[in-house]
Structure 1
Amino acid sequence: MPALPIIAISIGDPNGVGVEIILKTFQDKTMFEHCIPVVYANIDFVQKQQLLYSTQIPLSLVEGMPKQGVLNIAAIWKDTPELDFGKQTTMAGVTAFESLQAAAFAVQKKQADALVTAPINKATITSLNFPFAGHTHYLGALWGGDALMLLAHNTLRVALLTDHIPLHKVTAAITIDLIKRKAERLSKTLQQDFGCQIPRMALLGLNPHASDQGVIGNQDDAILKPAVAELKNQGVLLTGPFAADSFFGQKRYTNFDAVLSCYHDQGLVGFKTLAFGQGVNVTTGLPFVRTSPDHGTAFDIAGKGVANHDSFSAAVKMACTIYSNRQKTD
């Protein structure tokens, strides 16, 4: 492998902003100082959008080892997909899956060092080949491991006990074992990937006001607090449960290296209010590095040239940093 990490990039839904934010990211020539990017698509498809967005990035078809200083394109489609910006189509879902699969396989086969994924549309990508609720579960099944979804921006980090499941299933899913497993995984991630020597983590309560001493449910007292106590005995510094409604507004997250949220919107409403468009989605607990931007396909602005690429740029840089940190600890 070259000194710079090779980053495999999937394009996401072709009718969304995926290729636009990829091109805008590497329009900044300094990005090539961080990595060797390889986009899994075909060169005609990328070139067509380069003309649309008036970017001027050197493109190179991969033949053997990818090159430094260019946006490498690994050809995976026989035909160039037709663009239909902002529309959900079956073909777009197939195309997105083929790009993701090729990029993920490349990392698994050690042809690349990390994976960065542009946003998919879950409705169109769902198929017999992709019966998953998102990237996190797909990569967990493909690569193996106990995947944990983490959103990060600077020192604000929010991880999820449960991620893409319906709200009515959350309570039954949260057990002492789950909390312990996810907290241990988060603690290891903070040490290995983010350089936190003694990670300090906060746990948000499940019920309003963390159950108010049993007045509003008993799960916080019966499940969350015993899990915190058991982890403390093991030397894992998880504190809580904290009332979630005021936690972010009072900036209590600044006292911790990461926050562990009981369910998706509980943690990510706070995170995206504070850092939307700047954050990075990191899938931890897997044998390989995967990051993505903190937003979706943005169908409403796709093809208009106005998409903000900051989060995707941050995702590429964070993938490089995490890969480098893991190399130091292996």
Structure 2
Amino acid sequence: MSSNSKREDKPVIGITIGDINGIGPEVTIKALRDSRVLNFITPVIYGSSKTLSYYRKALRMDDFNYSHVKEPGQFHLKKVNVVNCWDEMVEINTGAVTPEAGKASFQALLKATKDLKAGLIDAIVTAPINKNNIQNDDFKFAGHTEYFTQNFDAKDSLMFMTSDDLKIGVATGHIPVKHISEVLTKELISRKIGIMEESLRVDFGIKKPKIAVLGLNPHAGEGGLLGKEDIEVINPAIKEFKQKGKLVFGPFPADGFFGKGDYKKFDGILAMYHDQGLIPFKTLAFENGVNYTAGLSIIRTSPDHGTAYDIAGKNEAQETSMRQAIYLARDIYKNRKEQLTE
């Protein structure tokens, strides 16, 4: 079997280390510690071997081994690979917010993005960053989703929280609540539904996805009594997709939708804003949930948790979400390949 065939069978997945003072390094080590993962992917950690060595010792996981990458793209297919993204000594202060950790997380992200654009890696998994201390002249984004959307020239993208049984996207992402109704338009909702519908088909292999759209206002506006957006903005977008033969329904009042378990009847759910979607998602699927950026030419996933400074370095962080993010990146890669051959 040629090296190209081996790579197609085992995609190269880049993993950015995130904030080195948070739980990113820990969950990465734990997710890759089981050597069976090497049967399915070739992992490449973007960060620092010194950082990994620190956490390997602190967590007493001496059986976690890795190979140093000396030249771009020269990855060992049967080992965990590490790309050193900075040369200077960066002090690790577990649980602390520091400028040095923010700079390091950006350097790892920058290097991984460069390799992704060059085709050296097939997908990227991002460990959690601190959205404040990573800010600099080259990173002025609300988060990873916006960063990748701009860097890969996408007209739009969708923050898509996924698990085996629940998939929720958000029409508006990292914006203040007071601005939601200002930016919510029929065109925006139509774009987000379109991205979700295509992603469910292409990335998740669901031939005829059934999508639910949540309302913005209490009781989905109560016929206009509690707000006009559900009638004037959301409903017209839904009707447009129904006319195309798509299985798009709503708008549904969010409380009853989840309270009665109606979410189980749909392949995807579009929420109108961040907390409307993420509160039920993290309540129902926190341990195995994955944050996927749909609508991009590249594949980017992430665990659905943050830096968790309060438990950093204490060997308490669970790696389940990181492991799921890694495997989802692989599954989407394979699904896209299959779509191309059909």
Return the TM-score normalized by structure 2.
0.95
In 2, distance between residues paired with 1:143 and 1:214? 39
Q: What's the secondary structure of 1:198's corresponding residue?
A: coil
In 2, distance between residues paired with 1:275 and 1:155? 8
For 1:60, the equivalent position in structure 2 comes to 67
Q: What's the secondary structure of 1:125's corresponding residue?
A: coil
List per-residue Cα deviations over 1:84-116 (Å, max 9, x = no partner): 111111111110001011112211110000000
Is the aligned partner of 1:85 residue 2:94? Answer: yes
For 1:11, the equivalent position in structure 2 comes to 17
List per-residue Cα deviations over 1:260-311 (Å, max 9, x = no partner): 0000000111111101121000001111000000100000001111100000
**Is the contact made by 1:23 and 1:50 (CA closer than 8 Å) also made in structure 2?**
yes
For 1:143, the equivalent position in structure 2 comes to 152
In 2, distance between residues paired with 1:39 and 1:131? 24
**Is the contact made by 2:20 and 2:51 (CA closer than 8 Å) also made in structure 1?**
no
Q: What's the secondary structure of 2:259's corresponding residue?
A: coil
In 2, distance between residues paired with 1:88 and 1:42? 18
In 2, distance between residues paired with 1:22 and 1:70? 14
**Is the contact made by 1:42 and 1:80 (CA closer than 8 Å) also made in structure 2?**
no
Q: What amino acid does structure 2 have at the position aligned with 1:174? A: L
Q: How does 1:144-183 map to 2 (within 5 A)?
A: 144-145=153-154, 146-183=156-193
Alignment coverage as a number of residue pairs: 330
Range that drifts further, 211-220 or 69-78: 69-78
Unmatched segments (≥5 aa) in structure 2: none
The alpha-carbon deviation at position 236 of structure 1 amounts to 2.5
Is the aligned partner of 1:204 residue 2:214? Answer: yes
Q: What amino acid does structure 2 have at the position aligned with 1:196? A: I
In 2, distance between residues paired with 1:182 and 1:236? 14
In 2, distance between residues paired with 1:214 and 1:58? 60
**Is the contact made by 2:139 and 2:147 (CA closer than 8 Å) also made in structure 1?**
yes
For 2:264, the equivalent position in structure 1 comes to 254
The alpha-carbon deviation at position 227 of structure 1 amounts to 1.1
Range that drifts further, 37-46 or 164-173: 37-46
Q: How does 1:79-118 map to 2 (within 5 A)?
A: 79-118=88-127
Question: Which of 200, 205, 208 is residue 195 of structure 1 equivalent to?
Answer: 205
For 1:35, the equivalent position in structure 2 comes to 41
**Is the contact made by 1:86 and 1:302 (CA closer than 8 Å) also made in structure 2?**
yes
Question: Which of 121, 127, 130 is residue 121 of structure 1 equivalent to?
Answer: 130
Is the aligned partner of 1:227 residue 2:201? Answer: no
The alpha-carbon deviation at position 57 of structure 1 amounts to 1.6
**Is the contact made by 1:8 and 1:104 (CA closer than 8 Å) also made in structure 2?**
no
Q: Percent identity?
A: 40
**Is the contact made by 1:116 and 1:292 (CA closer than 8 Å) also made in structure 2?**
yes
The alpha-carbon deviation at position 138 of structure 1 amounts to 0.4
Q: What's the secondary structure of 2:81's corresponding residue?
A: strand
Q: What's the secondary structure of 1:58's corresponding residue?
A: coil
In 1, distance between residues paired with 2:287 and 2:20? 20
Q: What's the secondary structure of 1:7's corresponding residue?
A: strand
Range that drifts further, 256-265 or 1-10: 1-10
Displaced runs of 4 or more, over 3 A:
none
Range that drifts further, 74-83 or 296-305: 74-83
Return the TM-score normalized by structure 1.
0.98
Is the aligned partner of 1:24 residue 2:30? Answer: yes
Is the aligned partner of 1:300 residue 2:300? Answer: no
**Is the contact made by 1:57 and 1:70 (CA closer than 8 Å) also made in structure 2?**
no
Question: Which of 46, 58, 82 is residue 52 of structure 2 equivalent to?
Answer: 46
Quote the RMSD (CA, aligned, Å): 1.0
Unmatched segments (≥5 aa) in structure 1: none
In 2, distance between residues paired with 1:129 and 1:178? 27
The alpha-carbon deviation at position 314 of structure 1 amounts to 0.4
